[in-house]
């Protein structure tokens, strides 16, 4: 069964609950008994570039550059041909 996060709009309590289907919601808040509930959806992972394979630096190299932050001469070397 999938686990969903819910938030009670009455008291603000957030909890996880297993659900048999995506359409079902809990009957009430476990803290205050309120019935005005909202299902929370997880945020997408935006920290990783879509085309970047795992194990590479921000500029696409296999290893980090010698001078942080992955730069030499004050600018990122990602635009250099290597």
In order along its 82 residues, the chain shows pLDDT tens digits of 788 899 999 999 999 998 777 777 788 999 999 999 999 987 665 555 555 555 556 666 666 666 555 555 555 555 555 4
pLDDT computed for residue 9 by the predictor: 94
31 assigned to some structural domain: yes
Query: Among candidates 21, 48, 28, 66, which has minimal Cα distance to 6?
Result: 28
24 assigned to some structural domain: yes
Q: Total structural domains in the chain?
A: 1
Instruction: State the number of CA atoms in the 13 A half-sphere of 38 facing the CB.
Output: 11
Q: Which domain holds residue 30?
A: 3-40
pLDDT computed for residue 82 by the predictor: 45
Task: Give the alpha-carbon dihedral of 22, 24, 27, 31, to 10 degrees.
Answer: -10
pLDDT computed for residue 38 by the predictor: 92
Predicted structure pTM score: 0.49
9 assigned to some structural domain: yes
pLDDT computed for residue 46 by the predictor: 59
């Amino acid at each position: 069964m999938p686990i969903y996060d819910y938030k009670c709009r009455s008291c603000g309590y957030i909890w996880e609950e297993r659900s048999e289907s995506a359409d079902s919601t809990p009957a009430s808040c476990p803290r205050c008994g309120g019935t005005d509930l909202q299902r929370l959806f997880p945020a997408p992972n935006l920290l990783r570039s879509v085309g970047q394979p795992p194990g590479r630096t921000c500029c696409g190299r296999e290893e980090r550059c010698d001078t942080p932050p992955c730069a030499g001469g004050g600018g990122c070397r990602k635009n250099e041909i290597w």
